[in-house]
């Protein structure tokens, strides 16, 4: 009898372990009960980790937040999700439930006990008010200490208390947080800017460091020119962007430094663009003896310079003005005959038509290409130089090759329905040679309109507690281990 009692004492704990482990449910996104579907509110606590009092208090608070701001917050606390990654689980659960109204102003707070991890998932509409760094800081300050002590209800309550001001007035809350933080990153910022300029001077390659022409000539062939442009950009942008990330990273973890972060990043990018474009312009201007080829290469390496001059006004305005002045100077630089070496005369608009064929005259009429005609008055030698204009209507004709080809109309041949696709046709015509072409395309099926969806939706302001609002998340948010 003594032996049986001894065996029972030894084996009983071993028999209870698998029973206890089997009792712990490993929740899946598909199986986790939706509190809105069951009418229990905003808190999903299927394992009963929170007390009834904590669960009811949090639920009342989240209902008040939704009624006053329209923002929906879901709180999920489970014992285990198995081997799932909490961040991935939170994003999938958020989108499966559709937390938040249609403008995606929603929040999901997921806590996984066995992984000692909490993830806060933000909807698209709250990413500006609650960026990832701010959420991480708030979690570390208000949620993590309570959770480490096992006070899950109190930790969630304190975390919601820290989050709630941002639901009502994000700017005011940011100012309060900035005053509380008092973290001065400006010395680091100034040091980073200084180091950036030093890096530009030391690492940034100059024209003399580029590969010389392989044939020993003073002019770069097109292939070598493109390769040197690529080398110039890669050798400079790599370390420079690493430095920008370092400076920006120190700023990113302070709420008050958001606008300084944007400003400094804007300044750094502007100076980088000015540097690279200055180097490329210098290379393009020195690579060809012919002014026309220098003009074309200068224009090629300054693609989108006009847009950048607007985005980085006024820093890049002088570079853009210099670029325009150089183009004009190259275009009207005196030309000489390649046969006789005699100077050529630039004809006026009225005189040059006699030297242009029908296709070129049509390009001039449609303002797609401007042609300059340089003439040797004694020999009759004519040099015709085309300059393409910026326009988005005409393209090169597949038949004659002139930039006189455009779409004339767009027609729906078969209207789409909710069950079948439609068909349309685009008609093209060349103004020079009369070439015509038709391109057929498929029109997608019709979808139910937003107004119809809203009229059939179960969510409304009058019963905002009955369901989630159909929001979505792109993966924004932050997590903390405790």
> What is the pLDDT tens value at each position of the chain, 482 positions in all?
445 444 444 444 444 444 333 356 889 999 999 998 877 789 999 999 999 999 999 999 999 998 888 899 999 999 999 999 999 999 999 989 989 888 788 999 999 999 999 999 998 888 878 888 889 899 998 999 999 999 999 999 999 999 988 887 654 444 544 544 544 454 455 455 555 554 554 444 444 444 444 554 444 555 555 555 555 555 555 455 555 555 555 444 444 445 555 666 677 667 767 766 776 677 667 656 688 988 988 887 787 888 888 888 888 899 899 999 999 999 999 999 988 889 999 999 999 999 999 999 999 999 999 999 999 999 999 999 999 999 999 999 999 999 999 999 999 999 988 888 999 999 999 999 999 999 999 999 887 543 333 334 333 333 445 688 888 887 888 888 98
Considering its fold, how many domains does the chain have in total? 4
Contact 42, 72 (CB under 8 A): yes
Asked whether residue 320 falls in the same domain as residue 366, the answer is no
- What pLDDT, on a 0 to 100 scale, did the predictor assign at position 461? 37
pLDDT tens-digit map of 264-300:
667 766 776 776 677 667 766 765 668 898 898 888 7
- Residue 432 inside a domain? The answer is yes
Asked whether residue 201 falls in the same domain as residue 145, the answer is no
- What pLDDT, on a 0 to 100 scale, did the predictor assign at position 156? 95
Asked whether residue 422 falls in the same domain as residue 379, the answer is no
Q: In which element (H, E) is residue 172 found? A: helix 170-181
Question: Rounded to whole angstroms, how far apart are CA atoms 316 and 233?
Answer: 18
Our CA angle for 215, 220, 224, nearest 5°, is: 85
- Residue 26 inside a domain? The answer is no
pTM: 0.47
- What pLDDT, on a 0 to 100 scale, did the predictor assign at position 474? 76
- Residue 457 inside a domain? The answer is no
- Residue 140 inside a domain? The answer is yes
Asked whether residue 352 falls in the same domain as residue 323, the answer is no
- What pLDDT, on a 0 to 100 scale, did the predictor assign at position 248? 52
User: Final residue of a domain: which of 345, 370, 390?
Assistant: 390
Asked whether residue 352 falls in the same domain as residue 319, the answer is no
Nearest to 62 by CA among 80, 38, 44, 86: 44
Asked whether residue 404 falls in the same domain as residue 349, the answer is no
CATH number of the CATH domain containing 433: 2.20.25
Question: Rounded to whole angstroms, how far apart are CA atoms 332 and 336?
Answer: 12
Question: Rounded to whole angstroms, how far apart are CA atoms 164 and 142?
Answer: 13
Asked whether residue 344 falls in the same domain as residue 236, the answer is no
- What pLDDT, on a 0 to 100 scale, did the predictor assign at position 16? 42
Asked whether residue 132 falls in the same domain as residue 61, the answer is yes
- Residue 2 inside a domain? The answer is no
- What pLDDT, on a 0 to 100 scale, did the predictor assign at position 277? 73
Strand 395-396 versus strand 403-414 pairing type: antiparallel
- Residue with structure tokens 């009429």? 365
- Residue 470 inside a domain? The answer is no
- Residue 245 inside a domain? The answer is yes
- Residue with structure tokens 């760094």? 133
Asked whether residue 215 falls in the same domain as residue 312, the answer is yes
- What pLDDT, on a 0 to 100 scale, did the predictor assign at position 260? 57
Show the 3-state SS of 7-47: HHHHHHHHHHHHHHHHHCCCCCCCCCCCHHHHCCCCEECCC
- Residue 221 inside a domain? The answer is yes
Q: What are phi and psi of 70, to 5 degrees?
A: 85, 0
- Residue with structure tokens 């060349």? 430
Q: Go through the chain and tell me how many residues it has.
A: 482
Asked whether residue 298 falls in the same domain as residue 381, the answer is no
For residue 341 the two structure tokens come to: 């070496």
Beta strands in 230-315 (DSSP E): none
Nearest to 286 by CA among 297, 272, 277: 297
Residue 442, beta-bridge partner list: 423
**What domain range includes position 285?**
186-333
The conformation of residue 445, written as its DSSP 8-state character, comes to P
CATH number of the CATH domain containing 149: 3.10.310.50
User: Final residue of a domain: which of 139, 157, 181?
Assistant: 181
Question: Rounded to whole angstroms, how far apart are CA atoms 362 and 366?
Answer: 6
Question: Rounded to whole angstroms, how far apart are CA atoms 221 and 212?
Answer: 10
Asked whether residue 256 falls in the same domain as residue 200, the answer is yes
For residue 253 the two structure tokens come to: 């973890």
User: Final residue of a domain: which of 290, 315, 333?
Assistant: 333
Residue 107, beta-bridge partner list: 73, 122
- What pLDDT, on a 0 to 100 scale, did the predictor assign at position 460? 37
Asked whether residue 155 falls in the same domain as residue 233, the answer is no
């Amino acid at each position: 009898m003594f032996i049986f009692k001894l065996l029972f004492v030894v084996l009983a704990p071993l028999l209870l372990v698998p029973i206890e482990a089997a009792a712990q449910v490993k929740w899946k996104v598909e199986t986790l009960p939706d509190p809105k579907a069951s009418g229990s509110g905003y808190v999903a606590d299927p394992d009963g980790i929170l007390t009834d009092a904590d669960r009811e208090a949090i639920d009342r608070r989240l209902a008040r937040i939704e009624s006053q701001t329209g923002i929906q917050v879901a709180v999920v606390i489970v014992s285990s999700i198995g081997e799932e990654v909490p961040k991935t689980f939170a994003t999938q659960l958020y989108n499966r439930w559709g937390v938040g109204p249609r403008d995606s102003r929603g929040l999901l707070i997921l806590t996984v006990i066995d992984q000692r991890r909490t993830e806060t998932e933000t909807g698209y509409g709250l990413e500006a008010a609650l960026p990832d760094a701010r959420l991480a800081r708030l979690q570390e300050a208000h949620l993590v200490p309570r959770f480490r002590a096992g006070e899950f209800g109190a930790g969630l309550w304190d975390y919601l208390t820290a989050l709630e001001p941002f639901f009502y007035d994000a700017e005011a809350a940011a100012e309060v947080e900035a005053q509380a933080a008092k973290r001065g990153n400006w010395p680091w910022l100034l040091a980073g800017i200084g180091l950036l300029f030093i890096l530009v001077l030391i690492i940034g390659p100059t024209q003399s460091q580029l590969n010389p022409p392989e044939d020993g000539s003073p002019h770069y062939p097109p292939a070598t020119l493109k390769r040197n442009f690529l080398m110039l950009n890669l050798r400079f942008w790599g370390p420079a962007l690493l430095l920008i990330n370092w400076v920006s990273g120190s700023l990113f973890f302070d709420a008050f430094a958001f606008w300084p972060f944007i400003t400094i990043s804007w300044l750094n990018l502007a100076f980088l663009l000015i540097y690279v474009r200055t180097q490329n312009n210098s290379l393009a201007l020195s690579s060809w003896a012919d002014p026309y080829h220098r003009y074309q290469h200068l224009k090629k390496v300054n693609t989108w310079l006009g847009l950048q001059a607007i985005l980085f006004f006024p820093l890049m305005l002088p570079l853009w003005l210099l670029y325009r002045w150089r183009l004009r100077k190259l275009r009207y630089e005196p030309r000489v005959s390649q046969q006789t070496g005699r100077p050529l005369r630039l004809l006026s608009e009225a005189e040059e038509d006699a030297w242009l064929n029908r296709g070129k005259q049509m390009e001039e009429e449609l303002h797609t290409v401007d042609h300059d005609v340089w003439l040797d008055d004694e020999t009759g030698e004519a040099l015709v130089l085309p300059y393409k204009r910026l326009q988005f209507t005409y393209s090169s004709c597949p038949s004659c090759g002139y930039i006189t080809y455009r779409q004339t109309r767009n027609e729906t041949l078969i209207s789409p329905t909710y069950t079948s696709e439609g068909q349309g046709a685009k008609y093209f015509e060349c103004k020079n040679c009369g070439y015509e072409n038709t391109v057929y395309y498929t029109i997608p099926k019709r979808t139910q309109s937003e107004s119809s969806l809203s009229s059939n939706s179960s969510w409304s302001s009058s019963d905002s507690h009955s369901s989630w609002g159909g929001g979505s998340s792109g993966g924004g948010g932050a997590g903390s281990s405790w």
